[in-house]
Amino acid sequence: MNLNRDILIETFQSYGTPRHNWRVGGEFERAVVRPNGAPIGYHEPDGIRWILEQLAKDASWTTVFEDENPIALHREDMANITLEPGGQVELSGAPHKTLTDLAEEMMANRTALLDISADKEHVWIANGLTPITPIAAIPWVPKGRYRIMQKYLPQRGDLAAYMMKGTCSVQANFDYSSETDCARKVRLCSGLSPLTTALFANSPLLENRPTGFKSYRGHIWTRTDPDRTGFPPALRSAYSHERWVDYLLDAPMMFRLVGDQWVFAHGVPFRRFMDEGIDGHFPTMEDWKLHQTSVFPEVRIKHTIEVRGADCVDHTMALAFCALFTGLLYCNTALDEGLALVTELEGYQTHKERFDLACKDGLDAEIGGRTLADWASDLGEIANRGLHACLPDDTDKITTLLERIEQGRTPADDLLAAWQTDPSPENIIRSIAY
């Protein structure tokens, strides 16, 4: 049976997890560079391929190859280690019942990366944008979908290559019980994106010069591809699975996987592929799943809700990002209070204006006569109460974030201070070492 719109909507409507089975998953991208900030390529003797091969010595991982190249690792508990276009290494963790379990997985991965690199000229960095090397100097990872993306996306946005090869982020995945529950959570997460971008801002440097942005990574996303970034206003205010499916159907396709070959899709909307076919072929459910991985909105909905959009930060702040949204999304009272805060924020300027201010000025930005640090104080209190209610044994995981909110200081502020003290590449890399 060919796919059709009704089948896709029904598939989303079949999703939903009972509350007692809700879990949290984290996704952590990290870059590795030389001590002077120079990039490390895939094919170098101790490069990205070598790193994957070392990680794969842990027998719990299964290596995924493309042609002769190892490109990912997979584990039976649903965890994956994958490569971004510029060699960034991402742990997509397993779903966990507690933040303590999530933290153990994240820290085990961190330890593995540091141990592998201990006697190498490697420094793993926690930063939203590689701060020293020009983007053009970063080698591409040899993956078929990236060969297509590097040709397609720069036609859609002048900073697309910066997004692909230079940025790193932290993300988290959350369950929902029903379409109604999903809609409330999507509204919260998308509405908060300017504030959370400011809270986790950590990309103020490019080619070892201040960019004028606390989160230049956030700004880069606004100049990547408007068809697949940001978040549709209609979905922000009134999400439904039907509207989400229509958004995905109308999103242009970058690529298709035919057998084991990646082929250009030339921007054909998935809806046309479904209705008319391409070269006599009509999409399967696997094609649909692949297409969903090629859109990058602030919030992405699948079986779970993927909360995106924070700069890569150190391990304590990365865990705090997961804790923040756990407290907001898994406690009904906190969710109600968070939605009220979103409604209040939306009374000032447009979402784009709020987001641009957050990218530029971080917690110093002013919205509605209040700094984002002040708004963040309200948010932190709501999330902290929610975390105490839903996971009382994990409340320490948000402490680092609450301390930063009280100080009104982002990781970007720390990096800029380090740059002002000593702008040498070696000092900058030491300042953001993971």
pLDDT, tens digit (0-9, with 9 covering 90-100), for 118-132? 999 999 999 999 999
Scan for tokens 């909905």, then name that residue.
301
Distance separating alpha carbons of residues 408 and 122, to the nearest angstrom: 32
pLDDT digits 0-9 by tens, 196-225: 999 999 999 999 999 999 999 999 999 999
Q: How far apart are CA 415 and CA 211, in angstroms?
A: 12
Task: Answer left, alpha or beta for residue 379, where phi above 0 means left and psi between -120 and 50 means alpha.
Answer: alpha
Which pLDDT score is estimated for 1? 66
Query: Residue 309: pLDDT band by 50, 70, 90 thresholds?
Result: confident
Q: Where are the domains of the chain?
A: 5-251+295-431
pLDDT digits (tens, 9 = 90+) for 45-69: 999 999 999 999 999 999 999 999 9
Find the mean pLDDT for residues 344-351.
Answer: 96
pLDDT score for 311 = 98
pLDDT per residue as tens digits for the range 271-302: 999 999 999 999 999 999 999 999 999 999 99
420: how many CB neighbours lie within 10 A of its CB? 9
The 10s digit of each residue's pLDDT in 349-369 is 999 999 999 999 999 999 999
Angle (nearest 5°) at CA 26 between 69 and 243: 95
Structure pTM? 0.97
Report pLDDT for 2.
86
The residues, ordered by sequence, that sit 6+ positions from 295 with a Cβ below 8 Å of its Cβ are: 228, 247, 248, 251
What percentage of the chain exceeds 70 in pLDDT? 100
**Average pLDDT for 295-310:** 96
401-426 pLDDT, tens per residue?
999 999 999 999 999 999 999 999 99
- Binned at pLDDT 50, 70 and 90, residue 234 comes out as confident
* Three-state SS at 328: helix
Percent of the chain exceeding pLDDT 90 equals 98
Reported as a single tens digit per residue, the pLDDT across 70-101 is 999 999 999 999 999 999 999 999 999 999 99
Cα 287 from Cα 304, distance rounded (Å)? 19
5-251+295-431 CATH fold = Creatine Kinase; Chain A, domain 2 (3.30.590)
